[in-house]
Structure 1
């Protein structure tokens, strides 16, 4: 299995880490090789080159039965596509596991004719392509009609994420990169609109990005004193922040299936998220969370006001959210699905 370093930031590292902790690697004999890591450009290049070499050498000398690549767009895709080509030439069956909400634009709008051909070829040449949701699977099947696509959602360890009831009134939590595509600036505007009516309202932001610009924009909106800028936080700090939150909010413009969302649902939090990517397949508006259109500050503010004003609604949505994760997104469910895919590959049921 190849992907980003498990000690790093981001959704892929989080997804793979919980599956490893649940025992998937031990059960299935998975060897994990990092082909990407956070850091400076030079450090990233060193890890990429070393990971490429180690993976190619393993394919040539160890002849693994399956090579499973976790990929996003752009450089991540091209690295993984070349390694999967080498793996196929060495007789391995290959799994292309798609993450990230930007792949549709990357494959259809941002890439030229040659790159689009290579993307389609990589998908169709893979033994199986894993999508995070039915919606993503439908796109991939349309873009690469000869690809074999399976839906395997992201997973969270529900047992380790105990239901939390230590919420602080008015505390809204955002977990993600502080960039426009995550909707963080619409969230700042919504908080500014609600601030006069909610004296206890505070916004906690966990993640990296341009935090100086975030502070500047908050000051311009007059809500600097209502902001807790946490920076990137580790698992324990994240658990503490989730416990304290009254509402989890991630109003992204595009998404795959965010791990932070699933974690918030797993601890029984009321979630307010955009209806983009695979999110509507996990969150049903009014049942286990609230959905809003991306970039709509007025709708975001109205939904946030509704949640902050109604403790009973938050409890009901949170309880249903936790039930959803337990039934559909637990490591037990997702790990078993992946093990089934591996069995089919090794038995020759998938090409």
Structure 2
């Protein structure tokens, strides 16, 4: 018997994998969007070695192409970033349009501006512009990204849908006072890929400054990457007693680390709208982040977090020292951070936005 055609075909990385797209897809699925809107999901990328990635890309591409051409869903919704991710998704969206489907290009990743304007040839730039302008809708994570896309591809129809994170119930996370009791003084948490582009080197430099004044300082660098190289970088700065490198954490371990942290820090050089930052804000943590990508639209300096320039270790150190020394400030920023997520980045709000978009593109009122 022929399988029932999905209303929505969604494309992206494996939900059980790592990174922002995987985290967002898991949130949307767990929030009930897939069931309510008849969404079928095809993974076109997963973590692993080169051959595993190639195999996953080939398998996902063929499954998605067959679904577009045979089942013809009403809408094909692709989560895409730069490089190979863009090329895979742009070809699948072209196939979907050929089959008569409406298409959504959902942009992730802070490196897309560089990819589209600097790293790509003129021919590739034309293909990027063509993909954006021929999509039924382009979704940006913030108004800043939307403005860039409208300037790069003037004929594109662009709207803003932010990332979403689940908001822990107060009964699960505890009242703000209980959260403060759970948090360990001086514990700073970083969640993300361990690489220079995430500002890890500057974070190590910044942590070395307040360490003598705050002997309880503990910097937790949680994420995948070359752990041995970063251990060597820690040793070179003489702060081995203050740094933990636990590697990549699953969801339960991330929650435990967030509960233990006094401060969250993400000093990236470029970003879209980082899921780890939103998760920390939802957990009521005071955050220090760099003013890149959509971060300044989520974090208002001095109101619900602290912002510093990218590549600026002294500014980062000053912000961290300020939070470590002032428990009242940490509590106020954490409370406002959670309220910000509740108002603008909750699962319910974003799933509702996507459902309205699907109905509009499918001609349902």
Indicate if the aligned counterparts of 2:69 and 2:99 stay in contact, CA closer than 8 A.
yes
Q: Which residue number corresponds to residue 209 of structure 1? A: 225
The residue aligned with 1:3 is 12
Give the alignment partner of residue 143 of structure 2, picking from 134, 142, 156: 134
Query: Structure 1 residue aligned with 2:315, among 299, 315, 324?
Result: 299
Give the whole-Å Cα distance in 1 for the aligned partners of 2:29 and 2:173: 19
Paired with 1:184 and 1:240, the residues of 2 have a C-alpha distance of 21
1:110 alignment counterpart: 119
Q: Which range moves more in the overlay, 151-160 or 229-238? A: 151-160
Aligned to 2:57: 48
Confirm or deny that 1:325 pairs with 2:341.
Answer: yes
1:1-351 alignment, distance < 5 Å = 1-159=10-168, 162=173, 164-165=179-180, 166-347=182-363
Counterpart secondary structure, 1:197: coil
Q: Deviations over 1:237-291 (max 9, x none)?
A: 0000000000000000000000000000001000000000000000000000000
Quote the Cα distance in structure 1 between the aligned partners of 2:319 and 2:23: 28
SS at match of 2:132: helix
Paired with 1:287 and 1:6, the residues of 2 have a C-alpha distance of: 33
TM-score (norm 1): 0.98
Partner SS state of residue 34, structure 1: strand
Any unmatched runs of 5+ in structure 1? none
Separation in structure 2 between the aligned mates of residue 243 and residue 345 of structure 1, nearest angstrom: 41
Given that 2:24 and 2:275 are in contact with CA atoms closer than 8 Å, whether structure 1 keeps it comes out as yes
- C-alpha change, 1:216 and 1:283, in structure 2 (3 Å) is same
**Separation of aligned partners in 2, 1:64 and 1:89:** 12
Provide the C-alpha distance between the structure 1 equivalents of 2:322 and 2:16, rounded to a whole number of angstroms.
38
Aligned length: 349
Q: Deviations over 1:290-327 (max 9, x none)?
A: 00000111100001000000000000000000000000
- Residue 194 of structure 1: how far off its partner (Å): 1.1
Greater mean alpha carbon deviation, residues 311-320 or residues 188-197? 188-197
Distance 1:19 1:348 in 2: 21
Residue 158 of structure 1 aligns to a residue in which SS? coil
Which 4+ stretches in 1 moved above 4 angstroms? none
Counterpart secondary structure, 1:252: coil
Determine the C-alpha separation between the residues in 2 that align with 1:134 and 1:64: 29
For 2:332 and 2:364, locate their aligned partners in 1 and report how far apart those are by CA, in whole Å. 46
In 1, Cα distance between equivalents of 2:270 and 2:44: 25
Distance 1:21 1:129 in 2: 24
Query: 1:205 deviation in Å?
Result: 0.9
Q: Give the superposition deviation at 1:159.
A: 3.5
* Equivalent position of 2:6 in the other structure: none
Checking the alignment, whether the CA contact within 8 Å between 2:168 and 2:283 is kept in structure 1 is no
Secondary structure at 2:292 match in 1: coil
TM-superposed CA distance for 1:348, in Å, is: 7.7
> What SS is found at the alignment partner of 2:209?
helix
TM-score (norm 2): 0.94
Corresponding residue of 2:3: none
Per the TM alignment, residue 207 of structure 1 is displaced from its structure 2 partner at its CA by 0.2
Aligned 8 A contact 2:186 2:217 in 1: yes
**What is the CA–CA distance in structure 2 between the aligned matches of 1:47 and 1:109, rounded to whole Å?**
29
